[in-house]
Structure 1
Amino acid sequence: MEIGLGLPVSDPARLPEWAGRAEAAGFATLALLDRLAYDNPEPLVVLAALAGATTRIRLQTEVLLAPLRGTALLAKQVATLDRLCGGRFTLGVGVGGRDDDHAAAGVPIERRGALMDAMLTDLRSIWNGMPYPRTPVGPAPATPGGPPILIGGFAPAALARVARFGDGFLCAAPLQWAGDLVGTVREQWAAAGRAGRPRLVCQINAAAGSAESVEHARRAVAAYYAFTGRPGWGDPVTDPIRLADTVAAYRDLGADELVLYCYGDDPAQVELLAEAVL
């Protein structure tokens, strides 16, 4: 099982430092979340910058709120990023569930599923050089047919998209819920006649370092998930032994990759987390 690193969003200017340290430490992927009505950097812009700051590590959105974007422009942005990083990009997408994000984009939240279905079909068509609607939209991505697409979500419709449109499943659910979601995705994949099995990428929140750094991460996680109304939701794993046990549990689940999301802004966490799990 590979281990990726989810980047914090509080200080975009330091993310090239995070990226260089993560690549040197041996992490497999750099991942970045997406929101619109929130104080976070735009992920495709940041990952384009990190493409130039790294040479090996993969770059991944986790997840990009695809229905908030126009199809042709998103296809062009993704293909450009895939070219910049030499085919190291993975597009993780989801529909999103926040009213404020959809209102800011002017996209009716009740249409997000239909928009996503149409977009996933059209993106592949554009990346394969088909006209959209009358002329092709370039550049062609470095990866033939476009980068791998991972689909995140919890609802039945979101899970069904993995077999219909995706290359894998992004599972952000807690471990106690993940098994049922993963089982459903794998059953639908087989029922659709897809070869092999879907790539499974899971994620947890983690923090390391000084008590001050860990507390900063806890506060940042609590602020990000305050909309759920669930105190403690997403609380980061901070104990090295518990973290190692959690990694082992996801390996037993059959995850191909586990992404450790950092909400604390101290990049020294990179080496501390690597020491604990790599």
Structure 2
Amino acid sequence: MKVGLGLPVGDPAALFTWARRADDGPFSTLGLLDRLVFDNPEPLVTLAALAAATRRVRVQTEVLLAPHHTTALLAKQTATIDRLSGGRFTLGVGVGGRADDCLAAGIDIRRRGRRLDEQLTALRRTWSGEPYGEGVGPIGPAPVTPGGPEVLVGGFAPAALDRVGRFADGFLGAALPPRYLDGLFRAAEAAWQRYGRPGRPRLVAQANVVLGPERTVRDARHRLRSYYAFTDRADHMVDGLLTTARAIREAVDGFAAIGADEVMLYCWSSDAGQVERLADTLFPAPPRA
């Protein structure tokens, strides 16, 4: 099973250090969250820069709140990142649920699900080189990946799981322990079969982690609480933060047991020493002969 890193958003300039260290190590993917009304870097701009600074590791939105974006421009931006990265880009998408984000983006929060359905249809058509719409020709550049970059759908509602079967290449289950994520994985597989898709969806899990000295743990807890402050689940999210090597290993093993193809370890503190600590935890060097 592959293991990727969800990047912290507190210090955007530090992300180049994170990306280069991850690229030199065993990690598969770099993920970046999306909010509009929050102190985070814009994910598509940032991931394009990180793709240029790396040679191997994939870059992934986790998840991009696509309804906040203009569809035609989103098609062009994502195809460009896929092209510039040599096919190392994954578009993780979701509907979001913050009223302030929707107000800032100028969209109706009640229509965001229907808007995402329309966008996913348009993105696939555009990436395939077809005209964007009536009176509008194709929008380039053509992505390196045939048919467009890999698409993962994130979310918990039945509509999100249905989108996996209708539009996506896989499902991203965020911030749930294996025993709860298992049911969502099976529902994603059922949606895949319901729409007659060949093979199986790619299944990606996410866990919130921190590994380091007490100041690093305090910083991660503070940032996680700040991110979820708009909900009534901030304390619950902080309580679920994995803070020891043993807890992180057990979670990764648990995700592997329910069929995850990849697990993204989301790091909330900007302490880049976590890259090596997590690598040593999950990919220990073999003993010398």
Query: Would you say the 8 A contact 2:224–2:234 is kept in 1?
Result: no
Output one character per residue of 1:172-203: Cα deviation in whole Å (capped at 9) or x when no partner: 14123211111111112112111111000110
- The aligned counterpart of 1:71 is 71
Q: Give 1:118 deviation, angstroms.
A: 0.6
Distance verdict in 2 for CA 1:42–1:231, change over 3 Å: closer
8 Å CA contact 2:6, 2:31 repeated in 1:
yes
For residues 130 and 89 of structure 2, the distance between their equivalents in structure 1, rounded to whole angstroms, comes to: 21
User: Which residue is 1:258 aligned to?
Assistant: 263
Q: Do 2:4 and 2:264's aligned partners in 1 also have CA atoms closer than 8 Å? A: yes
Amino acid at match of 2:224: V
Q: How far, CA to CA, are the matches of 1:196 and 1:83 in structure 2? A: 26
What is the CA deviation profile of residues 89-136 of structure 1, one whole-angstrom value per residue up to 9, with x for unaligned ones? 000000101111101100000010111011000101101111112211
Aligned residues: 278
Render the CA deviation track for 1:127-159: whole Å, top value 9, x for unaligned.
111111221111111111100100001111111
Q: Using the TM superposition, give the Cα deviation of residue 32 of structure 1 relative to its aligned residue in structure 2, in angstroms.
A: 0.2
Alignment match of 2:273 (pick from 245, 252, 268): 268
User: Are the equivalent residues in 2 in contact too, given 1:93–1:149 (CA < 8 A)?
Assistant: yes
Q: Secondary structure at the match of 1:255?
A: coil
The one-letter code sitting in structure 1 at the alignment partner of 2:142 is: A
Displacement of 1:231 in angstroms is 4.3
Instruction: Give the Cα–Cα distance (whole angstroms) in 2 for the partners of residues 97 and 114 of structure 1.
Output: 14
2:213 maps to which of 172, 197, 210: 210
1:94 alignment partner in structure 2: 94
Give the alignment of 1:51-62 within 5 angstroms.
51-62=51-62
Deviation at 1:233, TM superposition (A): 2.6
SS of 1:234's equivalent? helix
- Structure-1 separation of matches of 2:197 and 2:140: 29
1:260 alignment partner, SS class: strand
Q: Is the 8 A contact 1:225 1:233 kept in 2?
A: no
1:177 aligns with 2:180: yes
Q: Return the match for 1:135 from 134, 137, 142.
A: 137
Give runs of aligned pairs for residues 45-56 of structure 1, distance below 5 A: 45-56=45-56
Q: Is the 8 A contact 2:65 2:95 kept in 1?
A: yes
Give the aligned partner of residue 125 of structure 1. Answer: 125
Are residue 144 (structure 1) and residue 150 (structure 2) matched? no
Aligned-pair distance for 1:2?
0.3
State yes or no: 1:199 paired with 2:202. Answer: yes
- The match for 1:157 among 142, 155, 159 is 159
Contact 2:175 2:208 (8 Å CA) reproduced: no
Shift of 1:245: 0.8
Q: Which runs of 5+ in 1 are unaligned?
A: none
In structure 2, C-alpha distance between the alignment counterparts of 1:184 and 1:247, rounded to whole Å = 21
Alignment identity in percent?
A: 56
> Alignment RMSD, CA only?
0.9
The answer to whether the 8 A contact 2:165-2:197 is kept is yes
Give the whole-Å Cα distance in 2 for the aligned partners of 1:265 and 1:233. Answer: 22
Q: Is the 8 A contact 1:222 1:233 kept in 2?
A: no
**Deviating more after overlay: 127-136 vs 101-110:** 127-136
- Between 225-234 and 167-176, the greater mean CA deviation after superposition: 225-234
**Residue 11 of structure 1 corresponds to which residue in structure 2?**
11
TM-score (norm 1): 0.98
Alignment correspondent of 2:287: none
Contact 1:91 1:150 in 2 (8 A): yes
Equivalents in 2 of 1:59, 1:241: separation in Å?
Answer: 27
1:42 maps to: 42
Q: Name the residue aligned to 2:229.
A: 226
Aligned-partner residue type, residue 146 of structure 2: P
Q: After TM superposition, which residue ranges in structure 1, 4 or more long, deviate above 3 angstroms?
A: none
- Which amino acid is 2:169 matched to? D
